[in-house]
Structure formats: structure tokens, C-alpha cells
């Protein structure tokens, strides 16, 4: 009686569960590619024309069952391509999105601090945005305080937010 498989080969090969996890991970990458906005998708290095066509087709499918089958097909195509550049590009997009979100939250926090603390927060604002005009910021803060009584403070808060967003940050100016 001969042995059907060599035990040493069985140790080198991944388990069936591991293979399924890898396939599901590749399918999830495909799903992310389908869900990306077109300008972000254009930044992803997809070498395989069939994969590109499958993604474009999936973006047009509206039927739930058809989309699910197409996503499975994309997962199958992903197995035949090198997914490392795609994963790296997606990670880069995630980092860029996280940086934009953090900058947005910092901007909101600085605006809120300025509106609540007034001149006491001006030094903090000037450290982040050194090109900001202190007189203009003080004027908008005074207008904000007078508009709180009238219930129109949101307009001035938005105006201050847009102004701060338009300024270059101190870290942007460093070489």
C-alpha cells in the first residue's frame, strides 16, 4: 500500500481554512475597489485588463444577486494577479483619508476653542496658522457673540471655519 501524500508536503501547504481566508480577503479587496470613487480607483495600479473590466462592470450592476456573483468573479481574478501593489495603494488612500479627517477635526476643534475662549485661544490659532489675521479673527468672534442672541451664530462659525481652512498650516510652510 502506497501513501497518497507526503506528510512533509502537507506541512508546507496552507490549510483549507487558510486558503478560504485568503480568498475572502482578496474578494474584500475587490469589493473595496468596486466601492471606490472613480478618481481614487484611477490611482490604483491594476495591471490585469480583465480585472479592470470586471470592476467596471460591477460598478454598473444594480441587481443584488448579479453584483454578488460579479464580486465573487473579481475575487477569483484577484487570485491570479499580484495584489501587493493594489493593497499598498489602498493603504495609501486610507492614510490620506485619515490625514484629511484628522486635519478636519483639528480645524473644528480650533474653531470651537476660539469661539468659546475668544482672545485666549488666539495664540493657539496663530501657532497653527501663522498667516491668519488676528484682527479679522477678533472681529468675527465679536460678531459671533452678538449673533448668538439672535440665533444666527452658525453663519459666523461657518465663516470662521472656511477662513481657517483656506489658510496654509505652519507644517505646510516648512521645507
pLDDT tens profile 58-72:
999 999 999 999 999
Residue 70 lies in a domain: yes
Same domain? For 66 and 102 the reply is: no
**What mean pLDDT do residues 104-117 have?**
91
Same domain? For 169 and 119 the reply is: yes
> What pLDDT was estimated at residue 141?
84
- Collect all residues with Cβ–Cβ distance below 8 Å to 46 and sequence separation of at least 6: 33, 52, 55, 81, 86
Q: Quick check: 157 pLDDT over 70?
A: yes
Sign of the alpha-carbon dihedral angle for 45, 21, 50, 36: negative
How confident is the prediction for the chain on average, in pLDDT? 87
Q: Quote the domain boundaries for residue 158.
A: 98-173
Same domain? For 102 and 165 the reply is: yes
Listing DSSP states for 74-90 in one string gives HHHHHTTS--HHHHHHH
Q: Which of 13, 89, 9, 84 is nearest to 44 (CA)?
A: 89
Distance CA 26, CA 15 (A): 17
Same domain? For 102 and 169 the reply is: yes
Residue 92 lies in a domain: no
Amino acid at each position: 500500500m502506497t501513501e497518497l501524500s507526503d506528510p512533509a508536503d502537507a506541512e508546507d501547504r496552507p490549510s483549507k481554512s487558510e486558503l478560504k481566508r485568503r480568498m475572502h480577503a482578496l474578494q474584500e479587496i475587490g469589493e473595496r475597489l468596486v466601492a471606490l470613487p472613480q478618481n481614487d480607483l484611477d490611482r490604483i495600479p491594476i495591471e490585469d485588463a480583465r480585472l479592470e473590466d470586471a470592476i467596471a462592470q460591477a460598478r454598473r450592476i444594480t441587481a443584488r444577486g448579479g453584483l454578488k456573483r460579479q464580486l465573487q468573479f473579481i475575487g477569483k481574478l484577484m487570485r491570479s494577479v499580484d495584489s501587493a501593489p493594489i493593497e499598498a495603494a489602498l493603504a495609501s488612500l486610507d492614510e490620506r483619508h485619515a490625514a484629511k479627517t484628522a486635519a478636519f477635526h483639528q480645524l473644528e476643534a480650533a474653531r470651537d476653542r476660539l469661539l468659546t475662549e475668544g482672545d485666549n485661544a488666539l495664540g493657539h490659532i496663530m501657532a497653527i496658522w501663522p498667516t491668519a489675521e488676528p484682527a479679522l479673527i477678533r472681529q468675527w468672534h465679536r460678531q459671533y457673540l452678538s449673533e448668538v442672541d439672535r440665533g444666527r451664530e452658525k453663519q459666523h462659525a461657518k465663516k470662521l471655519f472656511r477662513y481657517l481652512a483656506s489658510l496654509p498650516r505652519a507644517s505646510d510652510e516648512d521645507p
